[in-house]
Amino acid sequence: MKTLGSTTTSYRLTELKPNTTYNIRITTFDTSNNESEGITTSVKTPPPPDVANLILSPSPYSIFAKWINPDDPDGLGFIGNDLYLNEKLITSLDKNTTTYTFTDLSPNTSYTVKIVSKYNGGYSSSGQTATAKTTIPIEDITDLQADAKYDRVKLSWKLPDSEFFSHVKIYRKKIEQQSFWDQLFGATAVSAATTSDGYTPMFETNGTYWTDLTVTPDTTYSYKVTSVNTEGNESQGVTIETTTPSEPVPVLTGVATTQNENGDYVVTWTSPTKGSVKVLIGGKSYTVVDAASQRVMIKKEDLKADFFGGYDAKLVPVGEFGTEGQAVQVPAVGKKIEFPITFDDFMKTVANILSWAAPLILVLFVFIFWRPFIAFLRKTILVKGGRMKS
CATH code: domain of residue 95:
2.60.40.10
Q: Which pLDDT value is given to residue 361?
A: 72
- Residue 174 maps to a domain: yes
Domain termination residue (choose one: 82, 114, 135): 135
Domain around 220:
142-243
Q: Which pLDDT value is given to residue 82?
A: 98
**Are 289 and 262 within 8 A, CB to CB?**
no
Domain termination residue (choose one: 218, 243, 268): 243
- Residue 367 maps to a domain: yes
Going from the first residue of the chain to its last (390 residues), give the mean pLDDT of each consecutive group of 10, the final group possibly shorter: 71 75 81 80 84 97 97 81 98 96 97 96 92 96 97 97 95 78 46 61 96 96 96 94 96 94 94 95 93 95 75 93 94 64 54 68 68 71 54
- Residue 249 maps to a domain: no
Total domains present in the chain? 4
Q: Which pLDDT value is given to residue 90?
A: 98
Q: Which pLDDT value is given to residue 186?
A: 44
Which residues have CB under 8 Å from 149's CB, separation 6+?
A: 244, 245
Check residue 320 and report its DSSP letter.
T
Do 161 and 266 fall into the same domain? no
Do 321 and 350 fall into the same domain? no
Which residues have CB under 8 Å from 215's CB, separation 6+?
A: 148, 151, 152, 153, 221, 244
Q: Which pLDDT value is given to residue 19?
A: 73
Q: Which pLDDT value is given to residue 233?
A: 94
- Residue 250 maps to a domain: no
Closest CA to 198 of 153, 228, 150, 241: 241
- Residue 332 maps to a domain: yes
Closest CA to 137 of 233, 204, 236: 233
Do 91 and 151 fall into the same domain? no
Q: Which pLDDT value is given to residue 385?
A: 54
* pTM higher than 0.85: no
Omega into 359 within 30° of 0, i.e. cis?
no
Do 100 and 177 fall into the same domain? no
Q: Which pLDDT value is given to residue 218?
A: 95
Check residue 292 and report its DSSP letter.
G
Do 6 and 78 fall into the same domain? yes
Q: Which pLDDT value is given to residue 191?
A: 42
Do 336 and 349 fall into the same domain? no
